[in-house]
Structure 1
Amino acid sequence: MRIWQQNVNKSLLAQEDLLHRAHPNDYDLIAIQEPYLDRLALTRSTTHWRVVYPSPHRTDAASRSRSVLLINKKLSTNNWNPISIPHADVTAVTIRTEGAASIHLFNLYVDAHSDTAIHATVRAMRNLGDWDDDEDLQQQALWIGDFNRHHQRWDDPGNAHLFTSANVNRAEILTRYLDVLGLEMRN
């Protein structure tokens, strides 16, 4: 599976550039954080992609959605379905592979001052199965996104100025869930 991930900072120009560069022959999914949304709260795409919004998108209770997934139309709708997560910053789908395995893909925008997107994703994962069983290869999870967290486990050691106690403490919830859920960092 080939995935392009990018935060476009709500910029129409940046999103159009991404759509121009991420050719549908080269990518199966595009995970966008802080997508451009027009006055109708719709994002931009091309005819090659299906747009998946967070579950509460465009509802009265939803704040502005900060994640979307674009799924290549070459991927049959019989092979994937959205996962309902009641958070405007998390978009998720389950993709079924030829070997009958399921990949649960979560696209998160994690606000610098809030962990609610992380908690919502963990609740959804727990509803999808038992993640403590290392032998269960029938389902896998992939978290993609903009996490707005700094920690020695993934930031360049040359950026020591980022490792303030406040920043490291903000990242601890993420590192704890990485360990508990058996997720591995791939930067």
Structure 2
Amino acid sequence: MATLLRDPDIGRYDILAIQEPWKNPFDTTTHHPAKDQFHLCYPDKDQTLPARVCFFINKRLDHSRWHFEEANRDLGSLNLRLGTEEEQWIMVHNVYNPTQTATERGSTLPLLGKALEQSSQHEQIIIGDFNLHHELWGGDRVQRADPNAAELITIIEDHCLTSNLVPGTITYEECDGRTTIDLCLTTAGLVGRLIQCEIETNMDHDSDHLPIVTSLDLNILKMMAKPRRNWKALDEKTFTRVLQRELPPQQRPRTKTALDRHVEEVMVALTVAVEEAVPTTIPSSRSKSGWNEECAKVLAQSKRLRRQHSLYHTEETWEAYRTARNHK
């Protein structure tokens, strides 16, 4: 998760829905190295147990047109107002459904069904880790369906949901198995707006869950990027020349009014010098402090070995990939 949020390409995405985020042992939050690009929406009602879902919302989205609601630590919802003349909302539900063998099982599905019912007048997207196996989404690879999968199928039927991943798409991959437990579901009104829903291997950062990228044709208002000064490109000769030209003569003000006026003249001179000597730039979503060529090479090596393991699935390929992942 940490390297995902530091990836130079992460700024291309509007919304990141994370399941099982890193657990901060000291506070009800998670790791957030991309504060310059994303708002963190983290459920914090439960002060005793860490949240198992969270959102990262790109700051280019108009923050007055979305808000976050938490049902509990395993279900959070994002209410997103579209940039259309009519008042239209999209509800994005981020779900973590505990495994069948978890000590504190507590299925999230009843709560999800309630949330869908409450927002039935809006189009809805459901994404998350359901920890359930069924041939409806797992394809022919599923030998035996989980009994609790029937509850999810009932929710899908009751709310006319569509599963957007191709059945059998591998979403979870570890040394001892490959399966489909992560889903992206949408209501009927969004089916025609779907552009893409698939595994994005280029954004894989060695999680056992593979990243799913979903694109929809939606009109969402975004904030305009504000230009800022590129101080690294300062033209020192121009700055010195303009400053010498614009600075007022040295003097020793004898009154407060004279001092204030002199300070103002100095500030004006500095402003003119900066405007002429320091160019402006639009911040790039790909720029990340601390990212260098060595980071890129280590990441590429890890991804290459991950692909080899996915292809051959042997102990040797797993060990090579595990070593590269730990080195990264």
Query: TM (normalized to structure 2)?
Result: 0.45
Structure 2 vs 1, CA of residues 152 and 22 (structure 1 numbering), >3 Å: closer, same or farther? farther
Contact in 2 for aligned 1:24/1:72 (Cα 8 Å): no
Deviations 1:25-60 (A, max 9, x none): 410011110000212132122121111122xx2534
| SS of corresponding position for 1:116 | coil
Structure 2 unaligned residues grouped into runs of 5+: 166-328
Alignment partner of 1:173 is 2:151: yes
Alignment match of 2:116 (pick from 122, 125, 148): 125
1:177 shift after superposition? 0.3
Residue 96 of structure 1 pairs with residue 81 of structure 2: yes
- Opposite residue 110 of structure 1, the aligned amino acid is N
Per-residue deviation at 1:110?
Answer: 0.5
Where in structure 2 are the equivalents of 1:1-187 lying within 5 Å? 15-21=1-7, 23-39=9-25, 40-45=27-32, 46-47=34-35, 48-54=37-43, 57=44, 59-60=46-47, 63-85=49-71, 87-99=72-84, 100-113=87-100, 114=105, 116-130=107-121, 139-157=122-140, 159-161=141-143, 163-164=144-145, 167=146, 169-187=147-165
Question: Per the alignment, do residues 98 and 179 of structure 1 end up closer, same or farther by CA in structure 2, a change over 3 Å counting?
Answer: same
Q: Partners in 2 of 1:97 and 1:28 — Cα distance? A: 13
Partner Cα distance (1:121, 1:29) in 2: 20
Count residues in correspondence: 156
RMSD, matched Cα: 1.9
C-alpha displacement of 1:98: 1.2
Q: Residue deviations 1:89-118, cap 9 Å, x none? A: 011111011123211000001012346312
When normalised by structure 1's length, the TM-score is: 0.76
Structure of greater Rg: 2
Tell me: higher relative CO, structure 1 or 2? Use CA pairs within 8 A at least 6 residues apart.
Answer: 1
Identity of aligned residues (%): 22
Change (3 A) 1:83 1:36: same
What letter corresponds to residue 83 of structure 2 in structure 1? E
The whole-number CA distance in structure 2 between the counterparts of 1:95 and 1:153 is 29
